[in-house]
Amino acid sequence: MNNPASHRLAIYPGSFDPVTNGHVDLIARALHLFDNLIVAVAQNPSKTPLFSGDERCAMITESMRASEVVSELARVETVVFDGLLAHLAVARGATAIVRGLRAVSDFEFEFQIALTNRTLAPSVETVFLMPNARYTFLSSTIIKDVARHGGDVSRLVPPNVAVRLKTRFAKP
């Protein structure tokens, strides 16, 4: 069932492998625009993620607890999903899909996905948000590369994520 027009629910999908300060920044921005937010963690087995879906969800919730977004935790739900995002959006009665744009290089792919999702779910708009400029270079892939080689990621990810990365890449 669709939500009443006055209730604005958005879905923010991604791999979040792991969540970064850029993602947390986007969650905070989305909460200024929408009443509720579902952060939808894509299982993406084809991408062979470093963390399981449940671990990625847990890291998002922990990150919010540790940040300024904490007071908004009640408005955020974190789910793992495995099918088509458009189907999830319609099933949950979402008004919008939120995606982040860091640079022009993100645009082409995002444009393609947004128009595909519009074909599949015409009632759901895709909304693009820009992070704070200091996070525009951040990606989960870069974070994993730095952490894998023992680099310090503590200013790029929430503290709980830095700890989990350290444990995951600890030499036996």
Chain contacts with ligand ADP (rule: CB under 6 A): 14-16, 20, 22-23, 26, 99-100, 102, 106, 131, 135, 138-140
Query: With contact defined as beta carbons under 8 Å apart, do 51 and 164 qualify?
Result: yes
> Among 171, 139, 142, 169, which Cα is nearest to 26's?
139
Q: How far is the CB of 167 from ligand ADP (least distance, A)?
A: 20
- The answer to whether residue 47 is catalytic is yes
In the complex with ligand ADP, which residue's Cβ is closer, 34 or 135? 135
Residue 29: half-sphere exposure toward Cβ, Cα within 13 Å: 17
Residue nearest to ligand ADP (CB): 22
Q: How far is the CB of 101 from ligand ADP (least distance, A)?
A: 6
Which positions ≥6 away from 152 have C-beta within 8 Å?
146
In the complex with ligand ADP, which residue's Cβ is closer, 7 or 54? 54
Q: How far is the CB of 5 from ligand ADP (least distance, A)?
A: 25
Query: With contact defined as beta carbons under 8 Å apart, do 127 and 33 qualify?
Result: yes
The catalytic residue positions are: 23, 47, 102, 140
